[in-house]
Amino acid sequence: MSTDQTDGIYLFQGNNLIVPEDVLEMSGFRGLPPERIRGAFGEVVPFLVPSVDGTHTIPGYLLDDTVALPPHWCSLSTRSALSLMAAEAGIGEILDGSGLIGRFFRIYHIMQWRRESVFCGSCGTRNGDAPVELARLCPSCGRLEYPRISPAIIVLIFREDGKILLAHNKKFAGKVYSLIAGFIEAGENLEAAVSREVREEVGLEVRDTTYVASQPWPFPNSLMIGFKTCYAGGRVTPDGEEIEDARWFGREELPDLPGFGSVSRYLINLWIEGRL
């Protein structure tokens, strides 16, 4: 396996990407040159994450939370970094796991997993890295731990008049409205998860659920599986716990939408363009 020499090191601290203030063109961001990091933080030894196809590695380094950033360096939330990278990227790039955004998703996901898997979940011994695969290996009991992936559904709900349902989650910034989404329960299939989440969050019944697209979503460790489905009955009733408001919207009356780079915006854009 070889390291792609055209790519620099992705530097993280906690959940944030660390970059110099003069790194403004994030759409083509491929990490930082080692000498740039060395000049600000001293010598670092990055962890090399193998790409999904195994053809190269992606270097990443996680700063300790106590490290103070030097002048002219900034901490950028990974969601903000994604929005910047996706702003000029095409739809194919956003969903392409081998593209820049896919590589960023992978390195972020793995670096956070390594931070959260320091100790063995069985015996509590400090974990090491497995020698021949991407896994954590307990030197005491031999337990292997692989990167966690939590599948979740996200769904665009149509009504007969052509409108779609958009909802405002309490966790959303500002007045952003997006699609209904939720994690899949143990023993549940994807279509059942769509029906359950829609029923629980907004009180509707749906039918004719169809898969559209998927996207890795490492916030923190999800795989978002996108569907479209048809309204089959019920009155929109936000659950009040997660969903504060939900309404039917036409193309000429859209609220603030989620940022570019997410499969939710991808599905909404397909509908706006008449392709879904």
Are residues 184 and 211 located together in one domain of the fold? yes
Q: Which residue has better confidence, 173 or 114?
A: 114
Say if residue 24 is in the same domain as residue 102.
Answer: yes
Q: Among 147, 166, 200, where does a domain finish?
A: 147
The reply to whether 217 and 129 lie within a common domain is no
Q: Same domain for 224 and 262? A: yes
Query: Do 103 and 203 belong to one domain?
Result: no
Interval 58-77: pLDDT, tens:
999 999 999 999 999 999 98
Long-range Cβ contact pairs of 44-53 (< 8 A, separation 24 or more)? 44/9, 44/11, 46/9, 47/110, 47/111, 47/114, 47/129, 48/3, 49/106, 49/107, 49/110, 49/111, 49/134, 50/1, 50/134, 51/98, 51/103, 51/106, 52/97, 52/98, 52/102, 52/106, 53/98
Range of the domain at 38: 2-116
pLDDT in tens, 215-236: 988 888 999 999 999 999 999 9
Q: What is the pLDDT of residue 1?
A: 37
Same domain, 7 and 80: yes
Which residue type sits at 7? Answer: D
User: What pLDDT does residue 82 have?
Assistant: 83
Q: What is the CATH number of the domain that holds 253?
A: 3.90.79.10
Segment 18-37 shows an average pLDDT of 85
Looking at the structure, do residues 87 and 193 belong to the same domain, yes or no?
Answer: no
What pLDDT sits at residue 3? 41
User: Tell me, what's the pLDDT at 29?
Assistant: 82
**Residue 93 and residue 104 in one domain:** yes
131 and 112 in a common domain: no
**Where is the domain boundary, 94, 116, 138?**
116
**Res 172 pLDDT > 50:** yes
For the stretch 123-138, pLDDT in tens is: 999 999 999 899 999 9
Claim to verify: residue 246 and residue 154 sit in the same structural domain: yes
Q: Which of 102, 127, 147 is the last residue of a domain?
A: 147
Q: How many domains in the chain? A: 3
Q: Report the distance separating Cα 239 and Cα 195, nearest Å.
A: 15
Asked if residue 123 and residue 82 are part of one domain, the reply reads: no
107 and 6 in a single domain? The answer is: yes
